[in-house]
Amino acid sequence: MSDPLYSIKMRAAQAGTHISGAERMVPASAASRTAAALVDRALNHAKGVPDFIQVKIEASGEPLRLPALSVMTHVTRTAAEGRALAVDLLASAGIAHAEAIMVRFAESHGMRGAMLLDADTLERLEPDPARGVRATYMDDADSLAKNTLSGKNHYAEAIVLATKVQYAPGIIGEICVSDDPDYVTGYVATRSLGYRRITVIKEKGDPAGGRIFLYRGPRSQVPETIHFLEQRRVVVTDVPLLSEPVAACRFRGLEADLALMENAGLSRFCRTLEAPAGPVARLDGREVAVLSSNDYLDLARDPRVTAAAAEAARRWGAGSGGSRLTTGTQPPHVALERHLAAFKGTEAALTYATGYMANVGAITALVRKGDVILSDELNHASIIDGCRLSGADILVYRHNDMVDFERKLAACREFRRRLAVSDAVFSMDGDSLDLPRFLAVCRRYDAFSMIDEAHATGVLGATGRGLTEEAGCDHPDILMGTLSKALGSEGGFICASRVLIDYLRNTSRPFIFSTAAGAPAVAAADAALTVLEAEPERVARLRDNVALFTVELARYGIRVRTASAIVPIPVGDERQATALAELLLERGFLIPAIRYPTVAKGAARLRVALMASHTPETLRAAAAAIAEGLGLAQRREHPCHILADGSQSRDPF
Ligand X SMILES: *Cc1c(COP(=O)(O)O)cnc(C)c1O
Asked if 163 is part of the footprint of ligand X (rule: CB under 6 A), the reply reads: no
Q: Does residue 482 interact with ligand X by CB under 6 A? A: yes
Q: Is residue 382 within the footprint of ligand X (CB under 6 A)?
A: yes
Q: Please identify, using beta-carbon distances, which residue of 288 and 454 lies nearer to ligand X.
A: 454
Cα 451 from Cα 5, distance rounded (Å):
55
The answer for 522, left when phi > 0, alpha when psi is -120 to 50, beta otherwise, is alpha
Helix 435-444 vs helix 402-410: crossing angle, to nearest 10: 10
Q: Which is nearer to ligand X, 445 or 596 (CB)?
A: 596
Number of residues that bind ligand X (CB under 6 A): 14
**Of the residues 484, 550, 562, 618, which one makes contact with ligand X according to CB under 6 A:** 484
Closest CA to 198 of 43, 353, 79: 79
Give the nearest distance from C-beta 359 to ligand X in angstroms: 6
Q: How far is CA 247 from CA 70, 71, 349, 616, in A?
A: 11, 11, 50, 58
Give the footprint of ligand X on residues 241-300 (CB under 6 A).
none
Min dist. Cβ of residue 446 to ligand X (A):
26
DSSP string, 208-241: --EEEEEE-S-GGGHHHHHHHHHH--EEEE---S
Residue 89 or 567 having the CB closest to ligand X = 567
Nearer to ligand X, 95 or 378 (CB): 378
Q: Are 539 and 459 in contact (CB under 8 A)?
A: yes
Q: Is 356 in the site for ligand X (CB under 6 A)?
A: yes
Say how far apart CA 439 and CA 476 lie, in whole Å.
7
* Nearest approach, Cβ of residue 614 and ligand X (Å): 20
CA 469 to chain CA centroid, Å, is 34
In sequence order, the β-bridge partners of residue 177 are 186, 210
Separation CA 70–CA 225 (nearest Å)? 22
- Residues 426-455 binding ligand X (CB under 6 A) are 427, 452, 454-455
Residues listed for the chain: 653
| Segment interacting with ligand X (CB under 6 A) among 5-13, 280-288, 353-361, 362-370 | 353-361
| Shortest distance (Å) from residue 427 CB to ligand X | 4
Query: Is 458 a residue that touches ligand X (CB under 6 A)?
Result: no
Report which residue's Cβ sits closest to ligand X: 355
Q: Which residues are catalytic?
A: 427, 455, 485
- Smallest CA-to-CA distance from 214 within 308, 98, 328, 311 is with 98
The CB-of-481 to ligand X minimum distance in angstroms stands at 9
Q: How far apart are CA 553 and CA 569, in angstroms?
A: 10
Please, which residue, 178 or 359, has the CB nearer to ligand X? 359
Binding flag, residue 568, ligand X (CB under 6 A): no
Query: Taking the complex as a whole, how short is the minimal distance between the CB of residue 297 and ligand X, in angstroms?
Result: 15
**Cβ atoms of residues 361 and 511 within 8 Å:** yes
Cα end-to-end distance, the chain, whole Å: 48
- Within 13 A of 425's CA, how many CA atoms are on the CB side? 32
Of 320, 435, 445, 427, nearest to 380 by C-alpha is 427
Q: Is there binding between residue 607 and ligand X (CB under 6 A)?
A: no
Q: Does 518 bind ligand X (CB under 6 A)?
A: no
Under the binding rule (CB under 6 A), the answer on residue 359 touching ligand X is yes
What is d(CA 612, CA 44) in angstroms, rounded to the nearest whole number? Answer: 76
| Candidate segments 116-124, 349-357, 406-414, 524-532, binder of ligand X by CB under 6 A | 349-357
Shortest approach of ligand X to residue 325 CB, angstroms? Answer: 21
Q: Applying CB under 6 A, does 178 fall inside the site for ligand X?
A: no
Of residues 112-151, those binding ligand X (CB under 6 A): none
Binder among 24, 197, 344, 380 for ligand X (CB under 6 A):
380
Binding site for ligand X (CB under 6 A): 354-356, 359, 380, 382, 423, 427, 452, 454-455, 482, 484, 492
